[in-house]
Amino acid sequence: MAPTDDTEPDTRHAAPPTATTPPPRPPADGAVRVGRMPRWLPRAMVLALALIAAFQLGSWAFHQLTGLLINILIAFFLALAIEPAVSWMAAHGMRRGLATFLVFLGLAVVGAGFVTLLGSMLAGQIITMVEGFPGYLDSVINWINQTFHTQLRRVDVQEGLLHSDWLRKYAQNSAAGVLDVSAQVLGGLFQLLTIMLFSFYFAADGPRLRRALCSVLPPARQAEVLRAWEIAVDKTGGYLYSRGLMALISGIAHYVLLQALDVPYAPVLGVWVGLVSQFIPTIGTYLAGALPMLIAFTVDPWYALWVLVFVVVYQQFENYMLQPKLTSRTVDIHPAVAFGSVIAGTALLGAVGALIAIPAVATLQAFLGAYVKRYAVTDDPRVHGHRPRGRGGPGVLTRVRRLWGP
């Protein structure tokens, strides 16, 4: 039968229509698509915050413990300095702790005796100065009157000083600063006790400390640590030897000057200048020179000026000629390196750095010298600073003659 228009087509074998997904709509204006946070981001943020907190805590603890660390460093070098004496006594059958105690006892007795002798001398000279102050004042007033044609009197000067605002303010400030000075003295004594205690432990338990340090290192590293330790002992001893020799030379030189000026207590003052100027860094020179000037002033004010000039001149001689030569021989470092190490140590740690800079640099130089490969130097005149002739054109004089000649 022929199909008609009213008959529906047969769709059983027709292909199914393809399903199409509608295109995504663009986000509205101003809308931001929010993705999912990576899993590692929270842990990274927590780790970063923990590292920052640990760094801040470590920095705060380091700044709080800087004083203690410096004291331990001083104590370590002091223990290295007395190590030869303690080891020698221990090698002869004495217990190491007893040997260390005897060394410290000897140092304490010598120091106490020197301070007692110096204190009695200083007290006597202060009494003499106070008793002779009117005579000094009269001589100064007479010199001023004769030089400037004035009419000053000692009574007027004394009354002016007693009723001056400067003296009143100075007395008030001195009374207020007594507590500060007392606190500083107590703090200094506690710091000295701390250094001595750590030095005693380092010297008495030196072998135990070396064994504890070497027990966490392989055998090859142990040999290097022990070698560095021995080098440090030798260099520190050499540095103290050079300081002691410079103290002897300085004491003799100042003793000769004070004896020539007929200043009392010249031997004690010579010992004072030698020890203080060499073993108290930075301000030791000024402390050492102030006391002889004060004693010389009680004899004659012009003698104090002569002492000041001699102290300044001798200090320049010591800094630029004597100290570099002795340091280069005893510690075996170049004078320029010694001078630069003192400047660098002062910039880093102040007075303590100036005191321990030279033995520390000498130890480092000697330890690293074993790892530097050296070669034989060729026999060239330029090595010795001789410039070969006949090369590089005519000399300067020849050029000048050619320039000004006809």
* Residue 322 near residue 249 (C-beta atoms within 8 A): yes
- Find all residues with CB under 8 Å of 268, minimum gap 6, and list them: 117, 118, 121
Most confidently modeled of 131-140, 294-303, 372-381?
294-303
Q: Which H helix or E strand runs over 394?
A: none
Give yes or no for a contact between 246 and 323, defined as CB atoms under 8 angstroms apart: yes
Alpha carbons 136 and 298: distance in angstroms, whole number? 8
pLDDT of residue 238: 78
What global pTM score does this model have?
0.63
pLDDT at 397 over 70: no
Q: Inform me whether the pLDDT recorded for 92 exceeds 50.
A: yes
* Of residues 233, 207, 251, 201, the one with CA closest to residue 71: 201
Instruction: Please give the pLDDT value at position 256.
Output: 92
What are the pLDDT digits (tens) for 187-216? 778 888 888 899 999 888 888 888 888 888
Instruction: List pLDDT tens digits, range 323-366.
Output: 777 777 777 777 677 777 778 887 887 777 777 777 788 777 77
State mean pLDDT over 109-133.
Answer: 76
Residue with tokens 């338990």: 205
Lowest-pLDDT choice from 25-39, 71-85, 142-156: 25-39
CB 232 within 8 A of CB 84: no
CA distance 46 to 53: 10
- Closest residue by Cα to residue 369 from 227, 214, 239: 227
Residue 2: predicted pLDDT: 47
pLDDT in tens, 268-311: 888 888 888 887 765 677 788 888 888 888 788 788 899 999 98
Instruction: Report d(CA 273, CA 288) in Å as an integer.
Output: 5
Q: Which residues contact 132 (CB under 8 A, 6 or more apart)?
A: 298
